[in-house]
Structure 1
């Protein structure tokens, strides 16, 4: 199978690091023209410089996904420069923890504005160009917590579930214009965030024991890598996926409902380490 993405005009959001950066690299390596954005200009400039080293066409801009005019201006710039937009990888967004006792409604809405509405703004901006050419591919990068509900992390659970529902809805309404929309729901992809989770443990916690605890819920027994997401994103933007829309695909090493046990595992592991190490650090 050869995935031919030469000269495809692709927008990747949240592309300054992690999964978005890996996806942008993947498209560039396949000959696509790649427009990337993130919040910080210096960070996205560095990725843009890397992608353009071999003479590839790259546009790199700092864009605030909560700013509707800024999102539209970025998409319009790309479409004006390259004559349209073929693919959107809606990757920007991040997880947020919290529960009924720790959150305010405003914090959930703030997260929704970045995640749900950030994704919606980009889709709304690219679809007119895709309709005009009667061809488009939209890939939503979401999280398994939106399909397999967990007993903690309400903002991520609620807002990821909404993003997945939006992808399925648009995956049903947009194919009449030959615009296909699908969602990838990610499990434990290691993009550096597990270092933060590890630091929530008592000082002196063995890293290998922490990793073993985290991976108890992953049947494949390892963390995913950003590259594990790239292949499916490329496939869904290719002609090989021309009859797939509204699909919800988990990239999680076999993890499903097991994810619901992780908050309990984490608390119990923290308590065990606190007792073993004699630490007074509170729960992470």
Structure 2
């Protein structure tokens, strides 16, 4: 029987106030790790930490702006001073951003890049010296499927996630000599609240059931993923069972692959059909 033990491991999880980051942080805490979590909103982060039910001495909760190199370095320094080092980094902080050639500005794409790809780079750069010193480290990039399989819309997410994936692969080749392994988990339709926002973009009259049926047409498994669906692979990659895996790109997408490219057209056509179907509600 496989037994993964993280007692005394020191873990940093970024973007841990909700969704995937929160689920992963809670799982590590339950497995005995010391867990340092960060996000922009301290109140939301503290509320998340209260759900973990672990000793206070095993938790560190801080507001950190991933676009601020000084803030990132200060946080990592605090973790290493408190616990003597850092073993595992879960680079989860980031957000999706839509837009296309007709709606975007270069500045909007660069702003997204600063949060996403540079946020991941800042944390990696801050933790690697400590991992090198102890000759052991695991870095897991929480990425998105559009980084591996581009879609014809959402340019910021497509190109910045692709950059994160390239960074993960590059470091996954350069760092193993120091026993630091780097891998990427590419999310499909994980339901962490963002689909409620997409649903609200639909014409009046559309039910959530109709919307979900449309969205899930491109997901072979036929349902949304849950944050808990990501946890097992994150724990595995951070463990000694994955000691020969680095530079891997693993899709957590319920079998979805190239189908993702059809979704923007599917959504646009669905919205037009529903607007026609429920046009009487606008009268």
Using the size of structure 2 for normalisation, the TM-score is 0.97
Q: Is the 1:87–1:237 Cα contact (8 Å) retained in structure 2?
A: yes
SS at match of 2:11: strand
Q: How does 1:150-161 map to 2 (within 5 A)?
A: 150-161=151-162
Unpaired runs of 5+ in structure 1? none
SS at match of 1:148: coil
Q: After TM superposition, which residue ranges in structure 1, 4 or more long, deviate above 6 angstroms? A: none
Query: 1:124 — aligned with what?
Result: 125
Q: Does 1:6 align with 2:39?
A: no
Deviations 1:38-97 (A, max 9, x none): 001111122223335455610000000000000000000000000000000000000000
SS at match of 1:160: helix
In structure 2, do the counterparts of structure 1 residues 67 and 280 end up closer, same or farther at CA, with 3 Å as the change threshold?
farther
Query: 1:109 — aligned with what?
Result: 110
Query: 1:74 — aligned with what?
Result: 75
Query: 2:195 — aligned with what?
Result: 194
Q: Is the 2:205–2:281 Cα contact (8 Å) retained in structure 1?
A: no
Q: Does 1:167 align with 2:161?
A: no
Q: Does 1:42 align with 2:46?
A: no
Deviations 1:172-225 (A, max 9, x none): 000000000000000000001100000000111021111010000000000000
SS at match of 2:93: coil
Q: Partners of 1:179 and 1:279 in 2: how far apart?
A: 60
In structure 2, do the counterparts of structure 1 residues 269 and 126 end up closer, same or farther at CA, with 3 Å as the change threshold?
same
Q: Is the 1:52–1:58 Cα contact (8 Å) retained in structure 2?
A: no
Q: Does 1:140 align with 2:141?
A: yes
Q: Does 1:24 align with 2:25?
A: yes
Q: Is the 1:203–1:279 Cα contact (8 Å) retained in structure 2?
A: no
Equivalenced residue count is 281
Q: Is the 1:142–1:164 Cα contact (8 Å) retained in structure 2?
A: yes
Q: Partners of 1:254 and 1:55 in 2: how far apart?
A: 39
Deviations 1:99-137 (A, max 9, x none): 000000000000000000000000000000000000000
Q: Partners of 1:92 and 1:55 in 2: how far apart?
A: 23
Q: Is the 2:24–2:234 Cα contact (8 Å) retained in structure 1?
A: yes
Deviations 1:212-246 (A, max 9, x none): 10000000000000000000000000000000000
Unpaired runs of 5+ in structure 2? none
SS at match of 1:75: helix
Query: 1:176 — aligned with what?
Result: 177
In structure 2, do the counterparts of structure 1 residues 279 and 266 end up closer, same or farther at CA, with 3 Å as the change threshold?
farther
Q: Partners of 1:58 and 1:203 in 2: how far apart?
A: 45
